[in-house]
């Protein structure tokens, strides 16, 4: 009986990926992981911990490293990475859409039209330009953050009581000082406890009492976000408690629509962002003193349903890292 021997199978050597493709895939994975961490917190309605709160301020710009990660995955012929990159870009793009109501629902007859200006003067350095802007634009309500001793003195001297007879000024140096100037009768109200002063008041406009509040919570500094969370949370509780009457909250919120804390303030249902209402949800206000594409909107004028927003303009002031915001409002009778 004869036997036949089967020839040994020839096993083709495994194809090894080119080292540069491996490096490209790894680099793409690192970029996509970083973007995914930030966008994941946005999807989870969380501000996370450093560096997530800081990165969330510039969320639309995450499309750049996300796109680079996708390109590197494609160059590395990493199919999983390509799918990952497409998903990251799709989710990031979705969250670049404006957040919040696009309209208010005022009722009754219009009682008054007026202008509101909010400006962060950065330790008072932009005081001269602020005064020039106030004289030119003639706002009826002025909210000033980081109003130092020099700023407070200049406002008293250059914008006298004959122009703004009603005011609530918190005299503190550096960034802690704040001021509210008003052409309308004003009664000071309880301040929100904060490191940088956040005064409040009740003004009478068109026969209605309007609760106004200056906003300037602490910024989300790296590894020190606790004060930011606490003070922005107090603003949220104020908004919740103020529901049912006309309310204006204006200032430097140190937060924007991609921060869960700021969205939770809007989600109380009491307030709407005037920039959003005028189609400017992504118009930047900070930083204004340096050339960088990484800019965001953290200065806001929030209003209740009693108001109709006619216009919102961001104005450049020399000497500060913030742009001022001028909003034209109409107050309706409830």
pLDDT tens profile 62-101: 999 999 999 999 999 999 999 999 999 999 999 999 999 8
* Predicted confidence (pLDDT) at residue 11 exceeds the cutoff of 70: no
- Residue 242: pLDDT band (50, 70, 90) is confident
For residues 212 and 248, membership in a common domain is answered with yes
For residue 1, pLDDT beyond 80? no
263 shares a domain with 159: yes
Whether residue 160 is found in the same domain as residue 201: yes
At 20, the pLDDT band (50, 70, 90 cuts) reads: confident
Domain membership flag for residue 194 = yes
Among the candidates 41, 60, 95, a domain finishes at 95
pLDDT confidence of residue 140? 98
Residue 104 lies in a domain: no
Specify burial of residue 18 (Cβ count, 10 A radius: 0-12, 13-18, 19+).
Answer: exposed
Alpha helices in the chain (DSSP H): 19-43, 52-56, 63-75, 79-95, 127-137, 149-158, 226-241, 260-266, 274-277
CA-CA distance, 63 to 82, in Å (whole number)?
Answer: 15
76 with 127, same domain?
no
Q: Is residue 8 part of a domain?
A: no
Residue 5 placed within a domain = no
Q: Quick one: 181 and 218 in the same domain?
A: yes
Token couple for 37: 């961490």
**Whether residues 78 and 164 fall in one domain:** no
Asked if residue 149 and residue 81 are part of one domain, the reply reads: no
For the segment 258-268, the average pLDDT, to the nearest whole number, is 95
Task: Identify whether 318 is part of a domain.
Answer: yes
Six token digits for residue 10: 């020839």
Residue from 143, 99, 152, 97 nearest 124 by CA: 152
Q: Does 315 reside within a domain?
A: yes
Note whether 195 and 300 are same-domain residues.
yes
Full domain range(s) for residue 205: 110-332
Is residue 248 domain-shared with residue 144, that is, in the same domain?
yes
The tally of domains found in the chain comes to 2
Q: Which of 41, 65, 95 is at the close of a domain?
A: 95
> Does 105 reside within a domain?
no
Residues 275 and 137 placed together within one structural domain of the fold: yes
| Residue among 255, 257, 295 nearest 95 (CA) | 257
pLDDT digits (tens, 9 = 90+) for 164-193: 999 999 999 999 999 999 999 999 999 999
How far apart, in whole angstroms, are the C-alpha atoms of residue 214 and residue 169?
Answer: 11
């Amino acid at each position: 009986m004869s036997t036949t021997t089967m020839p040994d199978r020839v096993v083709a050597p495994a194809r090894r990926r080119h080292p540069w493709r491996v490096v490209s895939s790894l680099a793409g994975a690192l970029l996509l992981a970083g973007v995914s961490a930030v966008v994941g917190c946005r999807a989870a309605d969380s501000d996370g911990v450093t560096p997530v709160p800081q990165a969330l301020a510039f969320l639309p710009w995450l499309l750049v490293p996300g796109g680079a990660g996708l390109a590197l995955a494609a160059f590395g012929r990493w199919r999983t990475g390509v799918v990952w990159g497409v998903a990251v870009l799709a989710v990031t793009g979705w969250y670049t859409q404006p957040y919040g109501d696009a309209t208010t629902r005022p009722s009754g007859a219009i009682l008054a039209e007026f202008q509101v200006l909010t400006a962060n003067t950065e330790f008072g350095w932009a005081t001269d330009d602020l005064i020039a802007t106030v004289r030119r634009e003639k706002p009826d309500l002025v909210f000033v953050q980081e109003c130092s001793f020099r700023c407070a003195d200049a406002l008293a001297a250059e914008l006298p009581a004959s122009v703004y007879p009603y005011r609530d000024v918190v005299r503190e140096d550096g960034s802690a000082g704040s001021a509210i100037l008003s052409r309308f009768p004003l009664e000071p109200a309880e301040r929100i406890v904060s490191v940088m002063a956040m005064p409040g008041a009740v003004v009478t406009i068109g026969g209605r009492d309007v609760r106004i509040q200056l906003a300037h919570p602490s910024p989300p500094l790296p590894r020190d976000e606790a004060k930011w969370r606490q003070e922005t949370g107090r603003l949220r509780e104020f908004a919740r408690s103020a529901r049912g009457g006309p309310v204006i909250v204006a200032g430097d919120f140190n937060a924007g629509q991609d921060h869960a804390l700021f969205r939770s303030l809007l989600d109380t249902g009491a307030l709407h962002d005037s920039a959003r209402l005028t189609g400017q949800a992504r118009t930047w206000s900070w930083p204004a003193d340096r050339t960088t594409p990484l800019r965001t909107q953290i200065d806001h004028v929030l209003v209740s349903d009693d108001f109709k927003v006619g216009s919102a303009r961001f104005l450049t002031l020399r000497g500060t890292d913030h742009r001022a915001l001028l909003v034209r409002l109409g107050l309706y009778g409830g």
